[in-house]
Amino acid sequence: MLLCACASAPVQQVSPRLFSSAPRDYSLPNDSWSAEMRRLYDQYDQEPGGGGRWKRLPSYNRFLKYATAGGQCLSRLVQSRARLFTRNIKEPGAAFEYAIFINEEEKRAVCVFQAGHLLEGPPGHVHGGAIATIIDNVTGACATYISGFVLTANLNINYCSPISLGSVVLVDCAVDRVEGRKTWVSCRITSADGSKLHTEATGLFVSVGVSHLFTG
Ligand SMILES: CCCCCCCCCC(=O)SCCNC(=O)CCNC(=O)[C@H](O)C(C)(C)COP(=O)(O)OP(=O)(O)OC[C@H]1O[C@@H](n2cnc3c(N)ncnc32)[C@H](O)[C@@H]1OP(=O)(O)O
């Protein structure tokens, strides 16, 4: 970023983040990511900004980060202290590190997920509720992308093998069918190389109007 206080002052080169009010995009790589996490991310982020098959979803700490009403940010008007469950810990690598990629043509979403040490359930392994959370998030994003605003009506999960803390896994979802307001999504979590099945799930999402999101 180039800053120039007045015409006669020297132009100063500063860090882009120093004076930037742009919200942090949590889906971008950071130093906590392992080489495996970065490799998988790069694999799906083949053509950033281009016409590639996979499109990375930016991820902020509020779902309604940019939505406005009457010129005001909804994220400031509605429960201003609220934070998205998966993005409420600032320390990189401590909890949910993930990036979601959408393939609209195939109605699929994949998520590269590195589980941090704050997600412990059984010793050294990821809590089942944290696994359910990432599944809800990725299947929900997949359903939202295809069907618009939805809420999770039903989630069924089979935990097949534990996920080690710090490991990187792939969350692979697909929309199976859409009927009226209902969207069914299936999901598998595997090891990064696909050889080990950790979790299988199915979810039903029901389309709702925006007002239902606020009033329930
Ligand atoms: C891009 C980033 C995206 C990030 C994604 C984040 C994902 C996070 C998603 C969530 O965590 S959402 C929070 C958890 N979910 C909720 O709090 C939802 C609470 N439940 C509700 O608000 C309502 O029950 C619901 C909107 C799901 C449905 O109520 P409605 O009154 O709108 O619908 P209705 O009851 O008429 O049902 C519509 C259809 O769905 C069916 N249905 C509803 N709930 C069902 C259920 N639980 N099981 C099976 N079918 C169900 C229902 O039978 C019916 O089928 P038919 O059209 O064939 O008659």
pLDDT per residue, tens digit, the chain (216 aa), is 222 233 333 333 334 445 556 789 999 999 999 999 999 999 999 765 556 789 999 999 988 777 777 777 777 888 889 999 999 998 999 999 999 999 999 999 999 999 999 999 999 999 999 999 999 999 999 999 999 999 999 999 999 999 999 999 999 999 999 999 999 999 999 999 999 999 999 999 999 988 887 777
In a domain, 21, yes or no: no
CA of 153 to the centre of ligand 1 (A): 3
Report how many domains make up the chain.
1
Answer yes or no: is 11 within a domain. Answer: no
pLDDT attached to residue 49: 58
pLDDT score recorded for residue 214: 72
Q: Is residue 73 part of a domain?
A: yes
Does residue 17 lie in a domain region? Answer: no
Q: Which atom of ligand 1 is nearest to 205's Cα?
A: 27
Residue 103: inside a domain: yes
The verdict on residue 15 lying in a domain is: no
Domain of residue 157 covers: 56-212
In a domain, residue 148? The reply is yes
**CATH assignment at residue 88:** 3.10.129.10
The reply to whether 159 falls in a domain is yes
* Per annotation, catalytic residue among 25, 42, 45, 136: 136
From 57, 184, 206, the mutation candidate for ligand 1 (largest count of ligand atoms within 8 A of CB) is: 206
Active site residue 176: no
Nearest Cα to 116, choosing from 201, 26, 199, 46? 26
Both tokens of residue 102? 């959408």
Q: Please, are residues 140 and 147 in contact by the beta-carbon 8 Å criterion?
A: no
Total Cβ atoms within 10 A of residue 177: 9
pTM for the full predicted model: 0.90
